[in-house]
Each structure stands twice: as structure tokens, then as C-alpha cells.
Amino acid sequence: MRDVAVIGVGLTKFGELWDKSFRQLIAEAGAKAILDSGIEGKDIDEMYVGSMSSGRFVGQEHVGALVADASGFSNVHIPSTRVEGACASSGMAVRQGYLSISSGASDVVVVGGMEKMNDVSGASATGTLATAADQEWEAFFGATFPGLYAMIATRHMYEYGTTKEQLAQVAVKNHANGALNPYAQYQREINLEQALNATPVAYPLGLLDCSPVTDGAASIVLCEAVRAKKYIDNPIKIIGSGQGSDTLALHGRRDICTLDASVHAAKKAYEQSHKKPADIDVAEVHDCFTIAEICAIEDLGFVKKGEGGKAIDNKITTRDGSLPVNTSGGLKAKGHPVGATGVAQIIEIVLQLQGRAEKRQIKDARIGLAHNVGGSGATSTVHIMEAM
């Protein structure tokens, strides 16, 4: 198995992008990544594309081919594959790109993720997001997607004493980070009062506990690690790649408060990379809802099960803490164009490890982790990266 490195990154601004279509978004992100990487178009062997529901958002399926086409590569007929796993779609796409190079099948792969969510009504977007849940046994009976995470929160509060304040602090921290990210949807801070008093969505979660509806696209270029420095001076090696699955419905899980898919993906990534949670300098975790970040830092082994809330209280995960989490602003402040999130998380880690994170830069970040989840935890990918 060959080592794989990230040699280029590119992303659009995340937000309500009325002027940009689905095709324009992906073309923009792709072009930026390719320019950033120093490769030429003819070097690209293959593409992987993550999109959760282009069908329901823009009425378009078959987007693997569309992305290659919109990016200008249809004349060279490169293979282009769409990968779908709800909100983990592009984390999974990254893994597929990684495996393609690692196995020797390809040398240079472009991985993109995108979602154009604002061309449909808010209610319709919410309904589409709910297709990440179990349609027959959760959504049919009235559960909403935030409702599922809210049930995780209720149980976490019951078992571990986690509080609404701790949940709110996750949102406050992520907005403080997002305020420093020029690509983020929300570049303004919020305070605890605002987070606690936000409109109720699904008890105990309010509007500011929930990531927004966002348009955006993100793209990275991968190549075989030994040849990475041919293209750029500061490639970032993917030293661990893990993926896990679990029951689609939350009610089928072994433990409501643990995403075993994340635990499994993390375990594989740590084993492969020979790293432990304590080795991680900076992490992007899947905070689709504030409770998800609390569970994530537990599932990824950064703190013990049940101590996620305490970690937030002790400010371990702020930019000044011992393990900065979601310096990009997370899904909450950066935005969550569903299919783009996985790649966008990887991009933030790459920027951090390359020293290109500007005002968000964590000093001496050498090893980083990106964690992407689909649905209420039925799919998870974990990638660990290291500066070369």
C-alpha cells in the first residue's frame, strides 16, 4: 500500500450563494484546488465526488459525470464516481480517493464535495436532510433529524449530567472560530445568552445548536506521497484512514450516546497511523449539532465517555486549549453544505498543518484529525494527517 498526500486545496465561500449554481460551485472549488496543487489537468487520473442529495436539492443525479464535465475533464474521459453517505459523503469520497492511490490504481486523484441547498424551500431542505434518518421507522413516525440528535442530548444529559449551557458553549466557541474564517457562512461571534435563548427546534436543542442550511463546494488533490514534493513544498500525508457503519436508526444502536461507527473508524485510523488521541494537535469533528461535538470528542478518545461536557467547561477545545476542535468554525459557523463538509474538514486540517490557517492558526500543529459523520451516526470516516 502506497502512502498518500494532499497537495492542493480549494473551496468556495460557504453560505447562501444565490448567484452560484451547483455546477459553478464545484467548478470553482475544483479549479482552486488544482491551481493550489501545482498539477496540470492532464495529470488527473480519477475523480471522486461527494454529494448527499443533488437529486432532491437540484433535481440532478449522475453528478459524478457532471462534476468531471463542469470541471472541464469530460474530453479526457476520466473516471468520476459519486459517493453518498448522507453528511459523510465527501469524507467517504476522500477515503475512496485515498484507497485508489494507495492501492496503486491511480496516481493523482481529485476529490470534491458539494451541496446546493438553497434552491429549494427551507421546509423542503429539512425534509431532504431527514432522508439521512430511517424513513420507515424514524421519519415516518414524526422524528426529525434534529430530533434524533436531541434525543442523544437528552440521554447524554440524563446519564452524564451534561447541561444545556455546555451545549451552548460549543456553539459560542465555534462562532468565535468562524469569525476568523473568511470562507465561513457566519463570521460573527455569538454569546451564551443568545445560544441558550434561541428558538426551540427540538428540546433540548435550539436554533443555535444546529448547523445551518448552506451552499458550498470544496476540493482537494491527492497524489502518491513519494512524489508529492514534486508539486508543492508542504504536502500533508494522510497517515490513517478509517470508516465505520452502524444501524441506520438511532433506536437500533448499542448505546444511544455513542456513535460506534465513529469509534470504529477512529480505531482503524489510529491503528494505521500508529497514533493515539493524545498525539492529535488539532481536530475538525462533525458538529452538525452541538451535542454531536460533545459525543465526537468522547468517541474519538480525546476525553472519557461522558466527559465531553466537562471538557467544554474546561475550555480544552478552544483555540487556546490543549486540543483545539473546529478551528474552522465547525459545521455550526462555517456552514454545512452537506456533501462538501467532509472535504472541507480535511482542508482545514491541511491548512493548519501547512501553517496557512491565518488568524485561526494553531501553533506547532503537526498531526491533525478530521471526523465526518452521516445521519445520526450510521456512517463515519476519520482521517489522520501529518505534515511531511
Active-site residues, by number, are 87, 336
Q: Is 304 exposed, middle or buried (0-12, 13-18, 19+ CB in 10 A)?
A: exposed
Determine how β-strand 4-11 pairs with β-strand 108-116. Answer: unpaired
Residue 204: cis peptide before it, omega within 30 degrees of 0: yes
CB 127 to other proteins: min, Å: 5
Contact 36, 8 (CB under 8 A): yes
Please name the residue that has the C-alpha cell 476525553: 303
What residue has cell string 469569525? Answer: 179
Closer CB to other proteins, 217 or 250, in the complex:
250
Nearest distance in Å: CB 251, other proteins? 4
Residue bearing cell 473568511:
182
* Closest approach of other proteins to the CB of residue 162, in Å: 13
Least CB distance to other proteins at residue 110 (A): 36
Residue-by-residue DSSP string for 264-319: HHHHHHHHHHT--GGG-SEEE---SBHHHHHHHHHHTTSS-TT-HHHHHHTTTTST
Smallest separation, CB 123 to other proteins (Å)? 7
Using the minimum distance from each CB to other proteins, give the nearer residue, 31 or 196. Answer: 196
Are the C-beta atoms of residues 219 and 111 closer than 8 Å to each other? yes
- For 195-249, strand residue ranges (E) read 200-202, 205-206, 215-224, 236-245
Decide whether 219 or 290 has the Cβ nearer to other proteins: 290
Q: Can you tell me the distance from the alpha carbon of 14 to that of 151, in angstroms, rounded to the nearest whole number? A: 28
Name the residues that contact other proteins, by CB under 8 A: 123, 126-127, 130, 134, 136-144, 146-147, 150-155, 158, 199-205, 249-252, 256
135 or 322: CB nearest other proteins: 135
Cβ-based nearer residue to other proteins, 76 or 140: 140
CA dist 45 → 90, 104, 218 (Å) = 18, 11, 19
If you compute the radius of gyration of the chain from its CA atoms, what whole number of angstroms results? 19
